[in-house]
């Protein structure tokens, strides 16, 4: 029997407008950065996607290089879309990105027009789609004129291969410049993606959050749990299968100091007093930050999704002050 989504799937989450655009994103979105590569089990991937959609997560976020191997996450998502989710395509918001290395030679990386538009064509073929809802430039390119990169995003939309354009990992100043170009081109640029968490305030320091507010764009957060640190993943040591041990790209073992663990412990006690897990409080807290539209979670188990969609974004002034005291000390 084919997959039938839960009839009450739109009762769990709120849907937040992406800046001043007409597009709404679920408060929680699912990222396919991990657990959807060639080393993952197709039935587990289906369970994760179905659990997410059953709880109102309509947005699935991918990138051309997600794997292993690069492109595998798009291929696997395309297989599941074809077998089970195709009837619900109009209910889904599917995004992909280009900006990191995909193939050898000078045309398989960064932000040239040739790379971005070629990569989008490859992504659409891998997923079996005519268009994606959002196409992001994944990272700034210091060597390609910003006008060329933004022109490629504009062409992606004008060609009908993407409905909206997005930027990922841009700082505030560069985002403002890009926004001005896209505004002149009349390109529907609606969203920015960057990392943030209770322990990571980078989007404040680099001016992105204020730029998002000023430019009236959306903001979606990745790594909201600091690669598991804010889910209590490392409280009792570093598991052998953790991302610290298997990747270490965003969270290094040397960063998990006694001081950091003490902060995590203190935050966990505050979450417990609120009747939440640390992960739930950490996700909920992000919505106290003006400008945040949606938060991207990753998951290896359906139970993680079920836990993380249970938000309580009402914080007292004292709670917010205590979170800042702990995190910023």
Residue 141, C-beta contacts closer than 8 angstroms, at least 6 positions apart:
99, 110, 111, 112, 149
Q: Is the peptide bond before 124 cis (omega within 30 degrees of 0)?
A: no
What percent of the chain lies above the pLDDT cut of 70?
A: 94
pLDDT (0 to 100) of residue 252: 67
Q: Kindly report, residue by residue over 188-224, the tens digit of the pLDDT.
A: 999 999 999 999 999 999 999 999 999 999 999 999 9
Give the pLDDT mean for 269-276.
98
CA atoms of 281 and 230, how far apart (whole Å): 9
Which band of pLDDT confidence, cut at 50, 70 and 90, is reported for residue 267? very high
Which band of pLDDT confidence, cut at 50, 70 and 90, is reported for residue 256? confident
Residue 56, C-beta contacts closer than 8 angstroms, at least 6 positions apart:
9, 10, 11, 12, 13, 26, 309
Q: Kindly report, residue by residue over 110-159, the tens digit of the pLDDT.
A: 999 999 999 999 999 999 999 999 999 999 999 999 999 999 999 999 99
Q: Kindly report, residue by residue over 179-190, the tens digit of the pLDDT.
A: 999 999 999 999
Q: Which domains, from first to last, does the chain contain?
A: 15-234+281-313 (3.20.20.100)
Q: Kindly report, residue by residue over 28-67, the tens digit of the pLDDT.
A: 999 999 999 999 999 999 999 999 999 999 999 999 999 9
* Averaged pLDDT of the chain: 95
Residue 289 has pLDDT above 70, yes or no: yes
pTM over 0.85, yes/no: yes
Which band of pLDDT confidence, cut at 50, 70 and 90, is reported for residue 1? low
pLDDT (0 to 100) of residue 245: 47
């Amino acid at each position: 029997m084919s997959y039938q989504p839960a009839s009450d799937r739109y009762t769990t989450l709120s849907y937040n407008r992406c800046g001043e655009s007409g597009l709404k994103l679920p408060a929680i979105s699912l990222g396919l950065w991990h657990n959807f590569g060639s080393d993952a089990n197709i039935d587990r991937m289906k369970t994760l996607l179905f659990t997410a959609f059953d709880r109102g997560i309509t947005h699935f976020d991918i990138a051309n290089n997600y794997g292993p191997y690069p492109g595998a996450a798009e291929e696997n998502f395309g297989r599941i879309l074809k077998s089970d989710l195709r009837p619900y395509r109009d209910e889904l918001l599917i995004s992909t990105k280009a900006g990191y290395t995909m193939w050898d030679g000078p045309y398989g990386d960064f932000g040239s027009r040739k790379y971005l538009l070629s990569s989008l064509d490859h992504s659409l073929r891998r997923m079996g789609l005519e268009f994606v809802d959002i196409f992001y430039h994944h990272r700034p390119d210091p060597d390609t004129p910003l006008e060329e990169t933004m022109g490629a995003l504009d062409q992606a939309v004008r060609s009908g291969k993407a409905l909206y354009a997005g930027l990922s990992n841009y700082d505030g100043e560069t985002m403002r410049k890009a926004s001005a170009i896209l505004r002149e081109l009349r390109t529907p640029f609606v969203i920015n993606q960057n990392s943030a968490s209770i322990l990571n305030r980078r989007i404040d320091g680099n001016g992105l959050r204020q730029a998002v507010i000023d430019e009236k764009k959306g903001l979606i957060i990745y790594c909201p749990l600091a690669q598991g640190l804010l889910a209590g993943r490392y409280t009792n040591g570093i598991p052998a299968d953790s991302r610290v041990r298997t990747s270490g790209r965003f969270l290094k073992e040397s960063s998990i100091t006694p001081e950091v663990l003490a902060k995590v412990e203190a935050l966990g006690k505050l979450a417990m007093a609120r009747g939440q897990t640390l992960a739930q409080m950490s996700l909920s807290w992000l919505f106290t930050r003006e400008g945040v539209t949606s938060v991207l979670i990753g998951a290896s188990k359906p139970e993680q999704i079920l836990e993380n969609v249970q938000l309580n974004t009402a914080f007292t002034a004292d709670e917010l002050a205590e979170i800042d005291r702990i995190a910023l000390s």
